[in-house]
Structure 1
Amino acid sequence: MYLIQILLPATDSDGNGFPPEMFASIRDLLAQRFGGITFHRSAPAEGLWLSDDGVEKDAIVTAEVMVDAIDREWWTHFRADLERRFDQEEIVIRALPITRI
């Protein structure tokens, strides 16, 4: 079993928050496809990374789903769609092996 985490920007490049409908549509799609979702968006986390211009930062929200197997083709297309919708160079989606207790 895997925990899939999707790291989404909370704001655009100008610092404006994305409309709640954008997050709601993602929440609804993932809940429908995977039967459940956890969405952490009430307190955005801060992501930091090094670039050629120095340290950059983002406010991010995280969506999580649990899956038995990873459909890499579906996730690749989903990530590309998110990158277009949020106007991002890259949206990070990661899979962590987990054991359900």
Structure 2
Amino acid sequence: MYLIQILLPLSDNDGQPYDEQLMQGLQHRLTERFGGVTAYSRAPAEGWWSAGGMRTKDDIIVVEVMARDFDRAWWRALKQELEDSLRQEEIVIRAQALELL
């Protein structure tokens, strides 16, 4: 079993919030494929990074699913799709093996 998390910024590089339908579409797609999804959206997390001597902050939400298998090709394709549609250099998707108790 795997826990797969997607870290999504709440706004574009100009600070404009993304269309809610985009996030709802992603949640629907993940629910259809994996049977459920959890989105930690009530209290956005802050993501900080430094690039080119500048410090930048994003408000992010975490969307996660549990899956029996980890289809690396499917997740790479989703990552690329999200980076393109959200106009981001990188969207973080991370996976970890887990054991349900």
The TM-score, its normalising length taken from structure 2, stands at 0.94
Aligned to 1:78: 78
Is 1:13 aligned to 2:10, yes or no? no
The whole-number CA distance in structure 2 between the counterparts of 1:53 and 1:31 is 40
Offset at residue 22 of structure 1 (A)? 0.7
Runs of 4+ in 1 over 3 A off after TM superposition: none
Offset at residue 43 of structure 1 (A)? 1.6
Offset at residue 50 of structure 1 (A)? 2.1
What is the RMSD computed on CA atoms of the aligned residues?
0.9
The TM-score, its normalising length taken from structure 1, stands at 0.94
More off after superposition, 39-48 vs 27-36: 39-48
The whole-number CA distance in structure 2 between the counterparts of 1:59 and 1:100 is 30
Aligned to 1:34: 34
Secondary structure in structure 2 of the residue aligned to 1:61: strand
- Identity rate, percent: 44
Count of residues in correspondence between the two structures: 101
The whole-number CA distance in structure 2 between the counterparts of 1:15 and 1:55 is 15
Offset at residue 62 of structure 1 (A)? 0.9
Aligned to 1:24: 24
Structure 2: tracts of 5 or more residues without a match: none
Deviations 1:72-95 (A, max 9, x none): 110110100000110000100000
